[in-house]
Amino acid sequence: MMRATRLVGHRLIACETVAQPEPQPGEVLIKVEAAGICGTDRHLFAGEFPSNPPVTLGHEFSGIVVACGEGVTLPLGARVTCDPNTWCGTCDQCRRGRVNLCAKNVATGLHRDGGFAEYCAFPAHKAHVLPSDLHPHHGAFCEPLACTIHGIDIADLRAGERVMILGGGVIGMLALQLAALAGAEAMLVTRQQAKRDLALTLGAHQTAATEDEARAIWPDGADAVIECAGVVDTVEMAPRLTRSGGRVVILGVLPAHTKVSIEPFDLLFREVQVLSSFINPFTQDRAAAMIASGTVKVAPLISRLLSLEEAAEAIANPPPPGEIRAIVLPAG
């Protein structure tokens, strides 16, 4: 038996004792070292994102391989990060290479039991090996970094461009670092002073607290605006902060059925592109390599460490002010 933090139903979440899984053919059993609490977990709790409860949550996690099912060659004791999305490979979208749009995608932590547990049985081909000496908390950042890499790929940043990041959560802080690595001049926009101060240590050239402050610093706007907050206000302001001929990439997740207001004439007249980015097609290995090498810094993004019991309460409530990422440690 083991402990797991499970979504039992609509707005029902609890740490329960459940049977420890056995790896099936093609699977590994992972002793989970660390798992991140994502905003999507709160959307799942509120019924604002599709899932299949009852289910163990947790789609950002890493750990140690302790058992292998038939046909698996991963070595026991390997530290791995887990790409939670398992696409079918046969549907129209998969055949087009758009695997993140697979209609039959099975997402660990949403559709099958995930990483807020002491152990997780997981498809071996979606486990990416990490260095054995990597800090055990850091592998949990590979999935959000992989999603962010996909968004930055879509933004098609060029060296010397101006890039504005809206939102100072984990996706915003990762996007900021990737933008700086791409050679862009980056500005982070967030109301929280502590996050603005941190951004300056992670590659930001400028920071601003409000739309007006950002506009005062860059009156012509940014070549690219990356929306990472997932709230109506920032989605609506993103085109306004984009220069003519620029582009907006929506990375933040809003609740399903949320509507925002835009001005199509303004987008047309200034030829502003509004793009969107969904999960992590073929980017998990790139994320793992960047974290393994220390190219992207994640230690400063850890706000607090929680037990499985504390995770249930954390997911059921808004994050405290200033939090970037809470990490769940199933072993306590």
pLDDT in tens, 303-327: 999 999 999 999 999 999 999 999 9
Residue 126: per-residue pLDDT: 97
The SS3 assignment for 12 reads: strand
Token match 């915003």: residue? 172
If asked whether residues 87 and 36 sit together in one domain, one would say yes
If asked whether residues 262 and 306 sit together in one domain, one would say no
Question: Domain containing 267: what range?
Answer: 147-276
pTM of the model: 0.97
Q: How far apart are CA 246 and CA 54, in angstroms?
A: 43
Residue 25: per-residue pLDDT: 98
Answer yes or no: is 291 within a domain.
no
Instruction: Beginning with the edge strand found earlier in the chain, give each strand of the sheet holding 12-18 in spatial order.
Output: 12-18, 2-9, 55-56
Give the contacts of 44 (CB within 8 A, at least 6 positions apart).
7, 51, 57, 110
If asked whether residues 185 and 268 sit together in one domain, one would say yes
| Residues 4-36 pLDDT 10s | 999 999 999 999 999 999 999 999 999 999 999
The letter for the amino acid at 126 is K
If asked whether residues 121 and 205 sit together in one domain, one would say no
What single-letter DSSP state applies at residue 112?
B
Query: Would you state the structure tokens that stand for residue 203, as one six-digit string?
Result: 């590659």
Per-residue pLDDT averaged across 229-241, rounded? 98
If asked whether residues 34 and 124 sit together in one domain, one would say yes
Catalytic residue among 5, 10, 17, 43: 43
Asked whether residue 234 carries a pLDDT value surpassing 90, the answer given is yes
Catalytic residue among 10, 17, 40, 128: 40
b/e per residue, 61-81, with b = 16+ CB within 10 A?
bbbbbebbbeebeeeeebbbb
Answer yes or no: is 320 within a domain.
yes
Residue 75: per-residue pLDDT: 97
- Please, which pLDDT band fits residue 200 given cuts at 50, 70 and 90? very high
Strand ranges (E), the chain: 2-9, 12-18, 27-36, 55-56, 61-68, 79-82, 85-86, 106-107, 119-123, 127-130, 162-166, 185-189, 206-208, 222-227, 242-250, 273-276, 302-306, 325-328
* C-alpha distances out from residue 138 to 63, 84, 115, 159, Å: 10, 16, 14, 28
Per-residue pLDDT averaged across 291-313, rounded? 98
Residue 332: per-residue pLDDT: 75
Give the contacts of 259 (CB within 8 A, at least 6 positions apart).
none
| Residues 130-159 pLDDT 10s | 999 999 999 999 999 999 999 999 999 999
188 and 196 in contact (C-beta within 8 Å)?
yes
If asked whether residues 183 and 129 sit together in one domain, one would say no
For residue 307, count CB atoms less than 10 angstroms from its CB and return exposed for 0-12, middle for 13-18, buried for 19 or more.
middle
54 and 44 in contact (C-beta within 8 Å)?
no
Asked whether residue 255 carries a pLDDT value surpassing 80, the answer given is yes
If asked whether residues 180 and 99 sit together in one domain, one would say no
Q: How far apart are CA 289 and CA 131, in angstroms?
A: 9
What single-letter DSSP state applies at residue 78?
-
Q: How far apart are CA 186 and CA 176, in angstroms?
A: 7
Query: Would you state the structure tokens that stand for residue 104, as one six-digit string?
Result: 């039959």
Task: Tell me whether residue 205 is one of the annotated catalytic residues.
Answer: no
Residue 251: per-residue pLDDT: 97
What percent of the chain stands above pLDDT 70?
100
- Per the structure, how many domains does the chain have? 2
Task: Tell me whether residue 40 is one of the annotated catalytic residues.
Answer: yes
Residue 178: per-residue pLDDT: 98
If asked whether residues 154 and 78 sit together in one domain, one would say no
What percent of the chain stands above pLDDT 90?
99
Give the contacts of 264 (CB within 8 A, at least 6 positions apart).
none
If asked whether residues 152 and 131 sit together in one domain, one would say no
If asked whether residues 130 and 162 sit together in one domain, one would say no
Nearest of 102, 114, 140, 105 to residue 53 by alpha carbon = 114
CATH number of the domain enclosing 238: 3.40.50.720
Query: Would you state the structure tokens that stand for residue 320, as one six-digit string?
Result: 């405290």
179 and 203 in contact (C-beta within 8 Å)?
yes
If asked whether residues 132 and 8 sit together in one domain, one would say yes
